[in-house]
Structure formats: structure tokens, C-alpha cells
Amino acid sequence: MGTDDLFKKRREDRKQRQHETKTPKANSYLIVTEGERTEPYYFSGLKNLIVEKIGGTVNVVELPSIDIQGKGSSTGKLIEITEQLIKEAKVMYQNVWIVFDKDDFEDFDQAIQKGVEKGYRVAWSNQSFEYWLYLHFYYSDSALHRDEWNEKLDAIFKEYGIGNCVYQKNYKDIYHMVNQNDGVNTAIKHAKRRMADFDGSKDKPSEYDPGTMVYKLVEELKNYLDE
């Protein structure tokens, strides 16, 4: 065996040992988002509340391990990035979620299917995450372009005096901003109403406009707060 082959074998053996030493961590989450600001900020706000409530106390529920990665990427590429993050992680995540929007991506349905086939759970939105944010305040089943959802959020932020009275993607406290008057639970209720007739076995997410599955991830994480 040549020197190069020997080094290659040792490297592969080392990677295999590292994989074997990983143990599943209960209540652990890896959340990978397409967006680099709004989505990571939103879920970080929720994560911080969980840590504040459960950390440093005697708990029946183990403190969840929630890692959030904001990656600016196409939907299909996001699946590949998630695979790499899992391989490099020091823990074996119990729950892997991918959060992305339809926007103008043509591989939206294919990316969702590919993620599901790999055992990931997909919190998709059609057209954009801003539709999910809008549901914190009002219900709507109108098919609008993502720019129009942004405009509607602008009006809401002005109406309620939120932030700078205009919607921006760089609000690090976005979770708390939209959670005014129990906004998160309102959004979950509105999303369930909208998605009640969605059948994943026959309906294409790309054609279900507007639509969002973000509520499933948020509801799951909120269970830690409602214990």
C-alpha cells in the first residue's frame, strides 16, 4: 500500500470512529434556514426563551439542544449543506428541520421531497417566511407575491408601532416583536386553519399559495415553554 493510500485509509478510519462515537442527544434540534437573518433571528428568540425557562432549574424535560444555521442558498443546495452540517456535528441530532421559502426557486417541491426522504422535516413557506409573520396578526388565504407580504408587514409595523415602524429583515428581536398580544399562538391557529385541507400525498407545496408549515416546528418548540 502506497503512502497516499495509507493516509487516505487512516483518514477514513478516523472519520468512521468519530461517527461511531456520536450518541443521539435527546430533545436536540438542528434548524437550518435558507434565510440568513429573519428566520435565524426568529428561531433564536424562541430558543433563548426555552433556555431561560429550563436552564438552571430542576426539570422534568431535558433542556433541548437547538442549533440554528442561517445559510443563504438555493433550496436544493440547502439539503446538501444540511447533510454536511450533520456529518460535522459533535452530536447526533434527534430532530433535523429545514426552513425555506418558495420564492422563485424551481426545485421547491423536489427539495422538500428530497429532505423528507433523508428523514428531515421541512418547514416550508409559499411564497415567503413573511407570510408566516403576517399570520401573527391577521388571517389570510390570498395568493400574494412576497413583496406584497413585505408591504403588508410594513403597514402592520406602522400600525402597532413595532421597531422603526417599518418591516426590516435585520430585526434581531423579531420573535418578540411579532409575539405581541400572543401573536405566536395566533399564527399557529391561523396556519392550521389555512393548511387544514393540505394533503401532502397529492398537493404540491409550490401550488399551495399561500401556505406554510413553519407552525409545526414552532408548535413543537413551544411545547417546552408550555410545560
Tens of pLDDT, residues 51-92: 887 753 323 334 567 777 787 767 778 888 899 988 988 888
For residues 45 and 173, is the Cβ–Cβ distance under 8 A?
A: yes
Percentage of the chain exceeding pLDDT 90 = 56
Question: Is 121 a residue whose pLDDT tops 90?
Answer: yes
pTM: 0.85
Q: Of 11-25, 96-110, 134-148, which one has max mean pLDDT?
A: 134-148
- 183-195 and 214-222 helices, crossing angle to 10°: 140
Q: Where are the domains of the chain?
A: 3-222
Give me the phi and psi of 62, to 5 degrees please.
Answer: -70, 140
